[in-house]
Structure 1
């Protein structure tokens, strides 16, 4: 199986429609970012970290690698990642509330 950078997909999922918009957000030149997205130039580790922080993803997500013990279908979208991050930042009582709400919403959705 061949893996490739998922930079374009992650950028769009994060709400940045254009390379220029994301490059501006990062504070770098569009040309530099575009060369990364096209895979023409390797991304230095420090810049990869910056990208992961901005896209709220893991290095595995960025590289298109499945997470340990998961397949590619289980990589989280930006919205899913935000939910997980908020869950983890919550107190145990709020985590329980979030879990119960998610289960109830899923159950009601299946009935529709």
Structure 2
């Protein structure tokens, strides 16, 4: 399966109408950015990180890879509550919550 960079779509979704506007925002030459968007030149890892930060996306989003799991936007209200409570807990309680969740999931798979 072949994947294509989603730079153009992500750039436009982020509100940058032109390659020049986004390149200026990044502080790089338009020609350099345009070559990435056209897929003519590979993007060095540090630059890919910069792009993801600027576009508020993941490397998977940037590369057009399919989602590998549930995003936080897809959580049910119960799942959201569990995540929020976990994040608000101390590190010791986070460890207890994680162990409890793993044990419960293991038991539930047993039938």
Give TM-score scaled by structure 2 length. Answer: 0.62
Output the CA distance in 2 between the equivalents of 1:53 and 1:38: 20
Q: Does 1:27 align with 2:12?
A: no
Tell me the distance in 1 between the aligned counterparts of 2:69 and 2:20: 35
**Structure 2: 5+ residue runs without aligned partners?**
74-79, 86-111
Asked which structure has the greater CA Rg, the reply is 2
Structure 2 equivalent of residue 58 of structure 1 = 58
| Deviation of the 1:69 alpha carbon | 3.6
Match of 1:45? Answer: 45
User: What RMSD over aligned residues (CA atoms) do the two structures have, in Å?
Assistant: 2.1
**TM-score normalised by structure 1 residue count:** 0.61
1:4 deviation in Å?
A: 0.5
Query: What stretches of structure 1 of length at least 5 have no aligned partner?
Result: 75-79, 81-86, 93-112
* Aligned residue pairs, count: 75
Deviating above 4 A after TM superposition, structure 1's stretches of 4 or more consecutive aligned residues are none
Alpha-carbon distance, 1:2 to partner: 2.1
